[in-house]
Amino acid sequence: MPDCYLEENLKGFKQFLMRGNVVDLAVAVVIGAAFGAVVSALVKDLITPLVAALVGKPDFAAIVFTVNKSKFMIGDFINAAISFLLVAAAIYFFVILPMNTVMERVRRGEATPDPTTKNCPECLSSIPIAAKRCAFCTSVVA
């Protein structure tokens, strides 16, 4: 009996793993991690030195203040905030904006679908295009 129980559970586990959404999620996590490394390298190796060339010192880690022998490393927070903003800007300008442009070009060639609803002239409710009478106010629709 335990062998059958184990075999049945392993079969269910295999089915769970082979479902499309689990595999898709695993692939997305792996690609997302790799893409995150690429974007982090872009920000660290290209954009941060560019900001340093324009503004001056790019590292704020030395900014600290002490209250009752407790160090507040505000510089590390500033570094993290600037890094986040640079990563977000890099993702937007190098990924989102080009993808939106490509998708807009793809959609330009598509015809708009025919409407499936119309508005009732009496109550302005949305009704099916083939309706002869409004379902909401029961008026006859031409």
- Hey, is 65 helix, strand or coil? strand
User: Does position 48 have pLDDT exceeding 80, yes or no?
Assistant: no
Q: Who wins on pLDDT, 1 or 12?
A: 12
> 100-111 b/e with 16+ CB inside 10 Å = b?
eeeeeeeeeeee
pLDDT score of 61 more than 80:
no
pLDDT at 127: 92
Which residues make Cβ contacts (< 8 Å) with residue 51, sequence separation at least 6?
A: 58, 82, 86
> pLDDT class for 2, splitting at 50, 70, 90?
low
Over residues 92-124, the pLDDT tens digits come to: 888 889 989 988 888 887 777 888 999 999 899
List the one residue out of 90, 92, 79 whose CA is nearest residue 52: 79
Q: Which domains does the chain carry?
A: 2-110 (1.10.1200.120), 114-142 (no CATH)
